[in-house]
Amino acid sequence: MDSNFVVAHWLLGFAYGQKSMFAEALVACQKAHALSAGSALTLGALGHAWALSGKCEEAQVIISELKKLAKRYYISPYHLAIVYAGLGEKEKALAWLQRACEERSSALVFLKAQPIFDGLGPDPRFIALLRKVGLEKE
């Protein structure tokens, strides 16, 4: 209904990525990022889209940018985990998710619902993280 609604473009970017529609994912994430005036939320999604589309250097630039921003103000480690998950860097994605848990990042409520982390699902550390957050039963 509102073509400038950031969250719609942000979620559309993830949906396109899951459908392997990488060009469309990039367009949606770039639009979300532009509309958000450069939020970390949309920056993480853009990094994820770059990673899925095979543009690993661009994804690494996003990681660097997020880390640089984190020196100036709070950036949830969850956003970095999203980019690392897109890159297929499971160990780094899990490490950043663990850090997000330690910092009590509110973004973790989406941990089980976002398919971007499906590749981490069978890992016992991911399951333990879900339990710690309260999204998985013992």
Q: Find the helix packing angle between 40-52 and 22-35, rounded to 10°.
A: 160
Q: What is the pTM of this model?
A: 0.92
Domain boundaries, the chain: 6-133
CATH number for the domain whose boundaries are 6-133: 1.25.40
Angle at 43 between CA 42 and CA 44, to 5 degrees: 90
Q: What is the pLDDT along the chain (138 residues), one digit of tens a residue?
A: 788 999 999 999 999 999 999 999 999 999 999 999 889 999 999 999 999 999 999 999 999 999 999 999 999 999 999 999 999 999 999 999 999 999 999 999 988 888 899 889 889 999 999 999 988 877
